[in-house]
Amino acid sequence: MGLMQFLKEKKFDLSLFLAISGGFLSFLSVLAILAEDVGTGFSNTISDIFGEWTYWIFILGAAAFIVGIFYLFDYIRKVREIRKLLAEPGKSKFIQNQDRIEELAWRLGTKFEVGVVEKKKELKIR
């Protein structure tokens, strides 16, 4: 399995991880920034760990959070769309939307590609 195939198959997991880790880094860096003014124990430890990189870590974490959320919602939107298109009864509706269904299946990964092939067999479409 190549890198692009891996990224396609694990898009949901990776985007969720990116959003959670980016949010966590942003939260910790905000605590570190606030700890510069107030001398609390835990916040000072975070500030000591991040050092002079606190603002950069905040920017990196916020960017990772935004990108992760974007890809997460994009994946969810595509999954809902393909499930809706595959649930429609009738051969004519499937054929009308076949290009979109195949594109979504290709973008979402093997699991959905198999579902499209099964639907084609069910409707007796080549």
Q: Where are the domains of the chain?
A: 11-72, 88-126
2-6, 33-37, 88-92, 99-103: which is most confident:
99-103
Please give the average per-residue pLDDT across 68-94, as a whole number. Answer: 92
The answer to whether residue 28 scores a pLDDT higher than 60 is yes
In 3D space, the residue among 106, 116, 113, 85 whose CA is nearest the CA of residue 8 turns out to be: 106
Helix and strand element counts for the chain (H, E): 7, 0
pTM: 0.80
29 in Cβ contact with 54 (< 8 Å): yes
